Amino acid sequence: MNLAEVSGSLSAIGYGLAAIGPGIGVGLVFSAYIQSTARQPESSRITLPYVWIGFAVIELLALLGIAFGYAFGQ
Amino acid sequence: MIGQSIVLAEGDIPFPPSVEDFFLPSIVPWGEHSVWFTKFTALIWLAVGIAIVFFLLSYRKPQLVPTKRQWIAESIYGFVRNNIAVDMIGAQGVRFAPYFTTLFCFIFLNNLWQIVPFVQISPMSHIAFPAFLAIISYVLFIYVGIRHHGFAKFFKHSLMPPAPWFMQPLLIPIELFSTFVARPISLALRLFANLFAGHIILLVFTFGGFVLLNSDAIFLKPISVLSWAVSIALTFLEALVIVLQAYIFTVLSASYVQGALADGH
């Protein structure tokens, strides 16, 4: 008995699952930045480059999902 | 390109978009799939030309009270020098500011093709261009580190973090991978994947509009307008992404150079 039949590629679902982690991670980066800036407004300029570096490193995980989805999806 | 859109409107829509949509027919020889002179070649040279002409023109007669164009050019350079090079590397970052400014402008202008109407594809959505930029930054930070520390000390510095000796067999492979393998790959892949994904998203909503318009269900036809509206909204999101990616590529290059120059931990 087929309860749910799927045709075509499952990579979109896989990518959706893979994007959960980076989504949470990017959220944590910006929440930490907003909190630190609220507590110490003068520090906002100092921490901003590190926010973008952290964001970029985490975002890469989601982007790897896109690239590998096409690279290995055939 | 306008010809392409007319063909699209007549049906035969390549939906869902795939990797093949990134391999456009070349300009010389016209229409064939060869690599001699493609749209991407033209866009790269155009971006380089725009950058050179803009900076030469705006700094041809520098004035103490800057004109509007000189002010823009100076703020771009000043932003990269003060907010990226000096902030990340410190006082000696001024040495690297010209490279970072060139890198920033080159990536930004090439990314900008992503949202320019009737062009709407960035050369950076082909891995070759980001990969070569990443190699330049990779060679730069290794060269700078070796110049600064000497060959043996630089590799000892970057491969052996200060930790107890029995941890080193575990740490050295991790450091080797993260510094000398993952860094260039991640730099290249980040820029490439952002623009690739951005272009795919725009294709999904633009082609999706045509698919909805051509569908048999009468109630689905008006939704194509919504789809195109979303693609316009996403173009504005892309505008944010292209600036951010140019900035991130430059900031990460600067932080790698800073890591290579750092004295001890």
Contacts of B197 in chain A (CB under 8 A): 63, 66
Q: Which amino acid is present at B14? A: P
Whether B248 sits inside 8 A of A53 (CB atoms) is: yes
Q: How far is B257 from chain A (nearest CA, A)?
A: 14
Interface check A20 vs B, CB under 8 A: no
Q: Give the one of B194, B244, B251 whose C-beta lies nearest to A63's C-beta.
A: B194
d(CA B5, CA B212): 16
pLDDT for B1 equals: 42
Q: Give the one of A49, A56, A63 whose C-beta lies nearest to B197's C-beta.
A: A63
Helix B97-112 × helix B223-261 angle, to 10°? 170
Q: Give per-residue pLDDT as tens, B183-193.
A: 999 999 999 99
Nearest to B17 by CA among B228, B196, B227: B196
Residue with tokens 């070796």: B146
Q: How far is A50 from chain B (nearest CA, A)?
A: 9
Q: Give per-residue pLDDT as tens, B181-226.
A: 999 999 999 999 999 999 999 998 998 898 888 888 888 889 999 9
Q: Is B33 left (phi over 0), alpha (psi -120 to 50) or beta?
A: beta
Q: What angle do CA A59, B229, B25 make, to 5 degrees?
A: 70
Average pLDDT, chain B: 88
> CA quadruple B80, B243, A66, B113: dihedral positive or negative?
negative
Q: How far is B30 from chain A (nearest CA, A)?
A: 28
- Residue B95 domain boundaries: 6-261
d(CA B206, CA B93): 44
Q: Give per-residue pLDDT as tens, B115-160.
A: 998 888 899 999 999 999 999 999 999 999 999 999 999 998 888 8
Contacts of A56 in chain B (CB under 8 A): 190, 248, 251-252
Q: Give per-residue pLDDT as tens, B21-53.
A: 888 888 877 777 777 788 899 999 999 999 999
* Residue B129 domain-assigned (yes or no): yes
Number of domains in chain B: 1
* Residue B29 domain-assigned (yes or no): yes
Q: How far is A1 from chain B (nearest CA, A)?
A: 30
Whether B255 sits inside 8 A of A49 (CB atoms) is: yes
For A44-68, what is the mean pLDDT? 89
Whether A64 sits inside 8 A of B189 (CB atoms) is: yes
CA distances from B230 to B170, B205, B219 (A): 49, 7, 18
* Residue B1 domain-assigned (yes or no): no
* Residue B108 domain-assigned (yes or no): yes
ipTM: 0.84
Q: Would the pLDDT of B88 be above 80?
A: yes
Q: Is B120 left (phi over 0), alpha (psi -120 to 50) or beta?
A: left
